[in-house]
Structure 1
């Protein structure tokens, strides 16, 4: 038990100095940033770029202080307000650090004077005027001042975090815009789902249903004929038609939702898409499975629709498909050497754009006449 208590006590003892060092380092960085903060605030009416850059620096400093990532900076007037408050807190931190430095200098001179009998230049004490009794008399108020200074540094660090939380909170206008965007995205997703259902119905009606009708005619003819050779030929054609029906059903199922995507993940599903496509596809990826199945589904349908468009409409002879992870985003890029002219407002591309937008991502389409066509989806993945 005593050993366990000793370990716990040691952890706490080492944790407090580390925390104090983090607060002191963050305060020093805040003090160093004061001139830059003031310049960014003054330059804000002319250009918002310095404020955005300094805002990123402030976020990194606070992340170093408490280890909490802050990927989203405030915007507009709230960013300027944050920088102004940070400049004020940085000035307060400079004052507190200055008082701590002055106290350390005075304490050092007093201890040196008591030990050697020399003077104390900090408050014009002559040689021999400061002894160990004088040092002992100043110990209690000096310790109190050190405690107050440490509380000041901790208070500045706390206000730093509170200021960021207050100014990074979305305003009413941003919330209204986000609600409007979500409503629009929801309408787009519903429209895309309806369009996908109509396409599935059309594929079943025009493809699978017609082949099933043809298969039934072949089987009926095979039952009526008496010539063995003709019957074998009809049966062979019926088997071929049956295989074609199965292929069409499998194709419709893949376009609806491939089972391999759930079982083996996005890279395996993209590899299967490559193997099923007539045109040669060069697949490059450095990912394994993604933690979010919805992100995998969105990326897969982007790839599937882009490949289908490249073959059907762009008459592409080669397709490059690349899947990479950049920070917190998954980036899927599909490039073909077709004739270009893809319409981002078309049913297919607008449908996958809505699917990507529903995940907080963005779809970019570059397709000049004459090609090449580049479809890029950037999808956040936590």
Structure 2
């Protein structure tokens, strides 16, 4: 009944909302029209638009009573520095005029819906409660069949039964009227194509900037690992070989130095292999994502189960991003969550490729942490989404979803 109550409240409040919207629209149009030929025209338009947007925002929130959440704001931020440019920017947004259109049509729609909803609710409620009030308003001249229903005790209880029988129909009518009105509100107040394109462009620009930052950080990491790891070992091996050559020229024993240089070169080679695996594991190219995840699971200290199609292949960029998502998730589960087991589920639907990692650790992971933020950048670079659910006490669920077109 909570949904029905919200629907009735939305319909009933539509009457005063429609009156306020119509009065304000007429008054604002008149004032802005009169001041348009003066220097006050621009400020008057901006002020009227500000109030109109506040009223439209209230309408979006009011529609949320039926839709369970408010309608998304469609406005594009205005950054102009002069009144004339701000007027042009606000007037150029379709949402500005759609707000005005809704405030105008809200009056007839709200009036019709409010009256119809109130009548339906009042008639059905009155019938259900007839024994409590019908005796106080006797009407001996009421036409049949209302006279026996209103003036006799059995008739009043009969009205109660009729009201209860019609209650599902009344509920359906109220919800249908409310949904129809909110559908009209969403058609005018929800973000249109212009706002969607602007928001998508802003999102892509932000994602691109994050990807560039992530790539720069990755290059710095590779350079640091080369400098501090393989390069240092190769330089040390070169120095050791130079020392061995000097000993050979003087007739000394160079065998231990050559052996040391060999070990240093082996360590440098192992370091380079680890670095290559950190950039793009060769197993991804050779055997695919499932095999790479199985190799990760075998190296993990946790008991890891990998589920999914063993033979399936995915776009190279998706396989790489998914691999590192799982690698970071397993490392976090072992290092921070005190987990013992973990399940990696790899699935593909018609719309997306989904990688889910679930561990039995203590939870409490910070979604904004540096490691998870880096993974989020990898996923968002492919127009994917990364979600982390980690309540205190666990379990932690890491879910990466990539569009199939990626």
Q: Kindly indicate whether structure 1 or structure 2 has the higher relative contact order, using CA contacts under 8 Å at least 6 residues apart.
A: 2
TM, length-normalised to structure 1: 0.49
TM, length-normalised to structure 2: 0.47
